[in-house]
Amino acid sequence: MQNASVRRRSERGYTLVEVMIALVVFSVGLLGIAGLQITSLKANHGSATRTQAVYLAYDIIDRMRANPTAAIDAKAYNIAIDATPVGGTVAGDDLVAWRRNITNALPTGSVSPSGSVEFSAATNLFTVKIVWDDVHANLTRTTTTTGPTGTPVTTPQTTDVVTFAVTTQLSN
For the chain, the distance separating the N- and C-terminal CA atoms, rounded to the nearest angstrom, is: 102
pLDDT digits (tens, 9 = 90+) for 76-135: 999 999 999 999 999 999 999 999 999 999 998 888 999 999 999 999 999 999 999 987
Question: How would DSSP label each residue in 60-110?
Answer: HHHHHHHSHIIIIIS-TT-B-TTPPP--SSHHHHHHHHHHHHHHHHS--SS
Yes or no: say if 79 and 95 are a contact pair by the CB < 8 Å rule: yes
Number of domains in the chain: 1
pLDDT averaged over the chain? 87
HSE value, Cβ hemisphere, 13 Å, CA-based, for 25: 6
Please report the sign of the dihedral spanned by the C-alpha atoms of residue 27, residue 28, residue 30, residue 35.
Answer: positive
**CA atoms of 122 and 111, how far apart (whole Å):** 31
Residue 44 pLDDT exceeds 60 = yes
HSE value, Cβ hemisphere, 13 Å, CA-based, for 151: 4
150 against 35, higher pLDDT? 35
- Its domain, for residue 79, covers 2-168
Residue 4 pLDDT exceeds 80 = no
Mean of the pLDDT values across residues 13-37? 90
**CA atoms of 129 and 111, how far apart (whole Å):** 14
Long-range CB contacts for residues 13-18, cutoff 8 Å, separation at least 24: none
